[in-house]
Amino acid sequence: MKHQIKSLEQYHSDYKLSIENPEIFWADIAETFVWKKKWDNVLDWNFEKPDIKWFINGKLNITENCLDRHLEIRGDKPAIIWEPNSSDEPNRIITYKELHEAVCRFSNVLQNNGIVKGDRVCLYMPMVPELTIAVLACARVGAIHSVVFAGFSAQSLSDRINDSDCKILITADGLFRGNKTVNLKEICDEALKTTPSIEKVIVYKRTADTIDMKMGRDVWWHSEMNKAATKFDAIEMDSEDELFILYTSGSTGKPKGVVHTCAGYMVYTYYTFLNVFQYEEDDIFWCTADVGWVTGHSYIIYGPLLNGATTVMFEGIPTYPDAGRFWATIDKLQVSKFYTAPTAIRSLMASGLDFVKPYKLDSLKVLGSVGEPINEEAWFWYHDNIGKERCPIVDTWWQTETGGILISPIAYVTPTKPTFATLPLPGVQPILVNQQGEEIVENGVEGLLCMKFPWPSIIRTTYGDHERCRQAYFSTFKNLYFTGDGCRRDEDGYYRIIGRVDDVMNVSGHRLGTAEVENAINEHPNIIESAVVGYPHDIKGQGIYAFVICDKQVNDISLFTKEVNEVISKIISPIAKPDRIQIVSGLPKTRSGKIMRRILRKIAEGDFSNLGDTSTLLDPTVVDEIIRNRK
Ligand code: WT7
């Protein structure tokens, strides 16, 4: 396949070209696609403003490249294989032809319900094919999709809808997750009390739970689809028109809406999917993420479909009906490339090999890891027991803001090294800097990971607040994109991501800001103040440790914990529940009132030896008290 790197020599020569002549390099890849009008210039960029444009004045619609482009040669090829929550329910297989028709129909539904180019549409959906259909239909009509993970609370949903003034909400009556059902429509109804911009709600029927349908506002997916025509000419989009918004947590304030645009995102997700996983035409590709996260956007939907691949969508969870579900499904669907998160690997590892042994796993060719650092034990377990020492592991480092994978082995090309994301992909120019922003050029060092040149799917802005984007990513170091990650580069020039250096936690691969969790905890009526830090957790990677100051004495600690969890679940999501809560009488603060999280992180870790300088604290005795009472 053209553009596919087949040897280490080719990697080095393609990399060299991509650095010396990025415009020629990326233009050649962009030629793969159907354009309504070709671009004038490939790239124009400025990291100070920031202002980044790729494929300037190009006109296209990404769905023509995901769907229409494939119809002639792969019309009857499965585009989506859907694996339901219950292994007793049959699979659904949707061919490219069928997906194309469904997307066209739903594009008409959106238009019939008042959507025009540039409108924002919020999706709060189970992992069913209709979620992918809705995402693509938004792109086809030129609406900007904002998918909200269906594990977020009503308040989180409402905040996200309001931040970008979404006009339509697409949801379902409910969802199945393991042996639970969740009534999604009820959560939506709660959120909709405070979302004035929403004019219509389109409801897909999944669980047949009883729900309220509000006349004039709520309509059923199936009845709208039945009325809709099956043809829809894709709307012409500019390369830099917004494709989607995806909310993600930062070190301060509320989650921000990361914005990606049409052409650059298309070119980059296509290219990285093709190379990292060494995509082949007969692959069955399974990324276990939820479409609610960027991994799902880029490597369940766009990357695979742009390549004409067969992509698996899984509705359930790794431990239902038992901890062998992933492995059973790999055998059942003959999955060849499998992409999951270290937290899932660690939890399945803990369940024991009896859940792996019954399965052959001989269809597998490549294993992927994403979302957090993979520890050595999990790497070897995955490599030996799932990949049978035969499948390369691609440890892919990237972020919501990067749109696609930046640092990763290329399967069968890059020699892997456990726990290392290895080398930058072509077009990616990482540098390590010290706290002063000076470049560290040698190998065998640690530093702050930055990028000195744009790649096509770099974040363009944060929705409605460009200054926040500049502040968060482009102001820490002049003329650099700052990732927020600490990183080691070894003697071979291989990169190993250490983790966040800011106040962002990574809990089971979910990104959460400490401030965001503290704000939620502080809503508990008995909590005056709190400080939250991440600490090493065997399964989750990081756990959440909350230090709280209470107004009145707490007598029933288990009741108190339950209440705190309820508050968090209501305001954010159950994924943000603290793993440990410690009631304290004070927090270690500097004289200027700043909480010294460094100290709390050490205490949470259980490492009391190196607390560093505590002499600048307003009251150093609180530290002793916290240590004494830590259980
Ligand atoms: C943060 C981004 C990329 C999609 C899923 C997460 C951490 C991500 C790796 C990896 C070590 C990783 C980083 C990054 N991270 N992949 N392979 N090795 N750390 O996207 O929610 O935007 O989180 O996840 O800390 O900054 P996200």
Please report, for the chain, the start and end positions of each structural domain, with discontinuous segments joined by +: 67-72+94-231, 504-629
The answer to whether residue 515 scores a pLDDT higher than 90 is yes
The reported pLDDT for the residue numbered 592 is 87
What is the 80 CA–ligand 1 centroid distance (Å)? 26
Check whether 251 has a pLDDT greater than 90. no
Q: What percent of the chain has a predicted confidence (pLDDT) above 90?
A: 96
Residue 252 pLDDT exceeds 90: no
Could you give the CA distance from residue 343 to residue 414 in angstroms, rounded to a whole number? 24
Q: Which of 423, 498, 506 to mutate to test the pocket of ligand 1 (most atoms within 8 A of CB)?
A: 506
pLDDT, average across residues 214-227: 98
Q: How far is the CA of 341 from the centre of ligand 1 (A)?
A: 10
DSSP string, 258-325: EEEEHHHHHHHHHHHHHHHTT--TT-EEEE-S-TTSHHHIIIIIIHHHHTT-EEEEE-S-TTSS-TTH
pLDDT averaged over the chain?
97
In this predicted structure, what is the pLDDT of residue 357?
A: 98
Instruction: pLDDT band for 1, please (50, 70, 90 cuts).
Output: confident
Bond from prior residue into 321 cis (ω within 30 degrees of 0): yes
From the CA of 371, how far away is ligand 1's center (Å)?
Answer: 4
* Whole-number pLDDT of residue 178: 98
User: Contact at 8 Å (CB) between 482 and 474?
Assistant: yes
pLDDT over 90 (residue 616) = no
CATH architecture observed for domain 504-629: 2-Layer Sandwich (3.30)
Tens of pLDDT along 323-374? 999 999 999 999 999 999 999 999 999 999 999 999 999 999 999 999 999 9
CA gap 496, 467 in Å, rounded: 31
C-alpha to C-alpha distances, 182 to 173, 176, 208, 293, 336, nearest whole angstrom:
9, 7, 11, 19, 32
Over residues 370-424, the pLDDT tens digits come to 999 999 999 999 999 999 999 999 999 999 999 999 999 999 999 999 999 999 9
- Asked whether the predicted pLDDT for residue 31 surpasses 90, the reply is yes
**In angstroms, rounded to a whole number, what is the distance separating the alpha carbons of residues 588 and 582?**
14
pLDDT exceeds cutoff 90 at 614: no
What is the rounded distance in angstroms from the CA atom of residue 344 to the CA atom of residue 378?
A: 10
Q: How far is the CA of 372 from the centre of ligand 1 (A)?
A: 5
As given in the structure block, the two tokens for residue 186 are 């009820």
Domains 67-72+94-231 and 504-629 share a fold: no
CA torsion 521-523-526-527 (nearest 10°) is 40
Q: Identify the CA nearest to 293 among candidates 175, 149, 115.
A: 149
Question: Residue 589: left if φ>0, alpha if ψ -120 to 50, beta else—which one?
Answer: beta
Alpha-carbon span 407 to 422, nearest angstrom = 7
Q: What is the pLDDT of residue 37?
A: 98
**CATH node for 67-72+94-231:** 3.40.50.980
pLDDT value at residue 475: 98
Contacting residues for 490 by C-beta, under 8 A, at least 6 apart: 417, 420, 443, 444, 496
Kindly report the protein residue whose alpha carbon is nearest to atom 5 of ligand 1: 371
Atom of ligand 1 nearest to the CA of 483: 26
Question: What percentage of the chain reaches a pLDDT higher than 70?
Answer: 100
Peptide bond into 50 cis (omega under 30): yes
Q: Provide residues with CB under 6 Å of ligand 1.
A: 248, 294-295, 370-373, 395-400, 421, 483-485, 497, 499-500, 506, 511
Residue nearest to atom 6 of ligand 1 (CA): 371
Residue 631: pLDDT band by 50, 70, 90 thresholds? confident
